[in-house]
């Protein structure tokens, strides 16, 4: 693979707010923010503290509309399709609690769905009398079409909804989502995608992908401050969703539900976004995050993602018996590189040592079935030196020659 030439990656790194003493390889949990965004957030938070009335109830609306239009253009959709949420957990819970599936309906998902979101589905299924069927996706690398077939062939007569992660939080697999969605739509099954890791990691065009619902975080790879996520709802699917927290928008006139209103949203969207008094700062800077993402050509970004994840794979493979489970094929991987932790190695101990003794942040993630992965996130702002630092620290902690 050609290294990502022609771009000054040191300058990119320099434009991110970070502690130079720390090695941050955990964008998969939350990303660092660009310095421009950080400065604006600080300014907005001072305004919030000096006059919370203005910051919560008067001044955010133009910023909201700017954020919504810029993000919609970035994602290949229109602003009236995007509801902002504080995090994807909130977006998914809202959907789970309101989607009008009949009693006995089956929800199909894989064994790689994020643990707490499985809990949200379990509660909703118990409440409504739905069945959840979990299919096992192989962790080894297969041809992309094998993942499509594995999911498509599992759709049964009672399956009403397919709930899937676009990027697996465990192994870092990028699933061939467009083909999966096409097949499910042909069978008349609704598709809800958990795209928590996608914006900022992979190109995403919602008009081309055609999910019914797509939720994602912006505070991971899109580098927004903590507290920014969205839910895309396909036109015509509005009646599948209700706000779980009712507030001042309850009696708004919704006779023209999808036109811009004075609150930087639409009458339909505002019933979800108006939740009472809270800090709205993260949503106000989303347009600035779009600036950062769009300043670097997508092709160069992808080469950089692949270059860094390849370095992680090569430098850690086999250490302490850890085996890389992230596919080699470029179309099946992005910024997450994971290693299956063998029995006898305490991944959580290793993670603690890396932070406490080396100030290196990675993650150890557990799959509900008990498998444990050592997961390294590399964004374009990370460096090959950081990957080398990580490998040296793991080697030292495991007392390897
Ligand atoms: C695939 C996936 N879904 C959902 C979530 C939940 O994200 P949040 O805590 O921001 O709501 C995560 C968090 O890491 C995730 O990886």
Domain that holds residue 306: 9-33+297-397
pLDDT above 70 (res 385): yes
Locate 93 and state its tokens. 């819970």
Task: Report the half-sphere exposure of 56 (CA within 13 A, side-chain side).
Answer: 12
Q: What is the pLDDT of residues 232-260, one digit of tens each?
A: 999 999 999 999 999 999 999 999 999 99
pLDDT for 1: 47
Q: What is the pLDDT of residues 90-132, one digit of tens each?
A: 999 999 999 999 999 999 999 999 999 999 999 999 999 999 9
| Boundary of a domain, candidates 292, 312, 347 | 292
Question: How many Å apart are CA 323 and CA 338, to the nearest integer?
Answer: 8
Q: Are residues 224 and 308 in the same domain?
A: no
Q: What is the pLDDT of residues 278-325, one digit of tens each?
A: 999 999 999 999 999 999 999 999 999 999 999 999 999 999 999 999
4 in a structural domain:
no
* DSSP 8-state symbol, 340: E
Q: Are residues 329 and 257 in the same domain?
A: no
| Boundary of a domain, candidates 251, 277, 292 | 292
Q: For residue 251, report the distance from its CA to the centre of ligand 1, in Å.
A: 32
Backbone torsion region of residue 274, taken as left when φ is above 0, otherwise alpha when ψ lies between -120 and 50, otherwise beta: beta
- Beta-sheet pairing, 336-340 with 323-324: antiparallel
**% the chain with pLDDT above 70:** 99
Backbone angles phi and psi of 277, in degrees to 5:
-70, 125
Mean pLDDT (the chain, rounded)? 96
CATH number at residue 173: 3.40.640.10
Q: Are residues 219 and 244 in the same domain?
A: yes
Q: For residue 2, report the distance from its CA to the centre of ligand 1, in Å.
A: 32
Question: How many Å apart are CA 110 and CA 180, to the nearest integer?
Answer: 13
Question: How many Å apart are CA 253 and CA 299, to the nearest integer?
Answer: 45
> For residue 337, what are the contacts with CB-CB under 8 A and spacing of at least 6?
172, 309, 312, 313, 316, 324, 326, 375, 376, 378
pLDDT above 90 (res 5): no
Q: For residue 196, report the distance from its CA to the centre of ligand 1, in Å.
A: 6
Residues 164-190 have a mean pLDDT of: 98
Q: CA angle 345-351-354, nearest 5°?
A: 115
**Helix or strand run (H / E) with residue 339:** strand 336-340
Q: Are residues 228 and 309 in the same domain?
A: no
CATH number at residue 340: 3.90.1150.10
121 in a structural domain:
yes
Backbone angles phi and psi of 65, in degrees to 5:
-65, -40
**Helix or strand run (H / E) with residue 375:** strand 372-377
Q: What is the DSSP string of 16-79?
A: B---TTSEE--TTT----BHHHHHHHHHHHHHHHH-HHHHHHTSSHHHHHHHHHHHHHHTTS-G
Question: How many Å apart are CA 125 and CA 104, to the nearest integer?
Answer: 9
Q: Are residues 51 and 186 in the same domain?
A: yes
pLDDT for 152: 97
Statement: the pTM of the whole predicted model exceeds 0.85:
yes
pLDDT for 4: 57
Structurally, how many domains does the chain consist of? 2
Q: Are residues 354 and 281 in the same domain?
A: no
pLDDT tier at 370 (50, 70, 90 boundaries)? confident
Q: For residue 94, report the distance from its CA to the centre of ligand 1, in Å.
A: 15
Q: For residue 114, report the distance from its CA to the centre of ligand 1, in Å.
A: 7
Q: Are residues 167 and 251 in the same domain?
A: yes
Distance of CA 278 to the CA centre of its chain: 23
Q: Where are the alpha helices (DSSP H) in 129-240?
A: 144-152, 177-186, 206-209
Q: Are residues 189 and 317 in the same domain?
A: no
pLDDT above 60 (res 3): no
pLDDT for 6: 67
Q: Is the CB of 114 under 6 A from ligand 1?
A: yes
Question: How many Å apart are CA 167 and CA 128, to the nearest integer?
Answer: 28
Backbone angles phi and psi of 324, in degrees to 5:
-70, 130
Residue matched to tokens 């932070």: 355
Q: Is the CB of 26 under 6 A from ligand 1?
A: no
pLDDT tier at 156 (50, 70, 90 boundaries)? very high
Q: Is the CB of 293 under 6 A from ligand 1?
A: no
Q: Are residues 253 and 318 in the same domain?
A: no
Q: Which ligand 1 atom sits closest to the C-alpha of 217?
A: 10
Locate 319 and state its tokens. 């250490």
Question: How many Å apart are CA 152 and CA 138, to the nearest integer?
Answer: 15
155 in a structural domain:
yes
First-to-last alpha carbon distance for the chain, in angstroms, is: 29
352 in a structural domain:
yes
Q: Are residues 227 and 281 in the same domain?
A: yes
Locate 302 and state its tokens. 């992808």
Q: Is the CB of 198 under 6 A from ligand 1?
A: no
Q: Give, for ligand 1, the residue of 84, 112, 169, 366 to mutate: max count of ligand atoms closer than 8 Å to Cβ.
A: 169
pLDDT tier at 2 (50, 70, 90 boundaries)? low
| Boundary of a domain, candidates 262, 292, 322 | 292
> For residue 385, what are the contacts with CB-CB under 8 A and spacing of at least 6?
none
pLDDT for 141: 80
Q: For residue 1, report the distance from its CA to the centre of ligand 1, in Å.
A: 31
Q: What is the pLDDT of residues 59-84, one digit of tens each?
A: 999 999 999 999 999 999 999 999 99
Question: How many Å apart are CA 141 and CA 137, to the nearest integer?
Answer: 10
- Identify each DSSP E strand in 144-273 by its residue range: 159-165, 190-194, 213-217, 229-233
Q: Which residues pair with 133 in a beta bridge?
A: 108
Residues 165-172 have a mean pLDDT of: 97
| 334 and 309 Cβ atoms separated by less than 8 Å | yes
Q: Are residues 29 and 46 in the same domain?
A: no
């Amino acid at each position: 693979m050609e290294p990502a030439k022609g771009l000054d990656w040191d300058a990119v790194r320099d434009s991110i707010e970070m502690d130079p003493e720390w090695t941050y390889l955990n964008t998969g949990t939350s990303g660092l923010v660009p310095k421009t965004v950080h400065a604006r957030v600080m300014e907005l938070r001072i305004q919030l503290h000096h006059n919370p009335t203005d910051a919560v109830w008067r001044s955010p609306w133009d910023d909201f509309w700017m954020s919504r239009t810029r993000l919609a253009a970035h994602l290949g959709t229109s602003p009236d399709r995007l509801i902002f949420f504080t995090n994807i957990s909130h977006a998914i819970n809202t959907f789970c609690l309101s989607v009008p599936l009949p009693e006995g309906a089956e929800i199909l998902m894989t064994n790689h769905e994020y643990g707490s979101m499985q809990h949200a589905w379990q509660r909703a299924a118990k409440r409504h009398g739905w069945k959840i069927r979990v299919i096992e996706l192989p962790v080894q690398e297969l041809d992309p079409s094998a993942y499509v077939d594995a999911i498509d062939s599992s759709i049964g007569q009672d399956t009403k909804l397919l709930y899937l992660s676009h990027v697996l939080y465990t192994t870092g697999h990028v699933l061939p989502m467009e083909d999966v969605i096409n097949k499910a739509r042909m069978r008349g099954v609704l598709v809800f995608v958990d795209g928590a890791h996608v914006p900022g990691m992979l190109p995403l065009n919602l008009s081309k992908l055609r999910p019914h619902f797509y939720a994602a975080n912006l505070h991971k790879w899109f580098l927004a401050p903590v507290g920014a996520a969205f839910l895309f709802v396909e036109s015509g699917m509005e009646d599948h969703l209700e706000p779980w927290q009712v507030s001042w928008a309850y009696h708004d006139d919704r006779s023209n539900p999808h036109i811009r209103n004075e609150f930087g949203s639409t009458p339909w969207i505002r019933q979800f976004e108006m939740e009472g008094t809270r800090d709205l700062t993260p949503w106000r800077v989303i347009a600035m995050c779009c600036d950062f993402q769009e300043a670097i050509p997508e092709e160069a970004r992808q080469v950089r993602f692949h270059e860094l994840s390849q370095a992680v794979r090569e430098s850690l493979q086999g250490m302490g018996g850890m085996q890389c489970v992230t596919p080699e094929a470029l179309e099946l991987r992005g910024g997450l590189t994971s290693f299956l932790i063998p029995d006898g190695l305490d991944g959580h101990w290793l993670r603690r040592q890396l932070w406490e003794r080396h100030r290196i942040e990675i993650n150890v993630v557990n799959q509900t079935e008990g498998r444990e992965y050592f997961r390294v996130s590399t964004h374009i702002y990370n460096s090959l030196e950081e990957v080398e630092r990580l490998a040296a620290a793991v080697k030292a902690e495991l007392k390897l020659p």
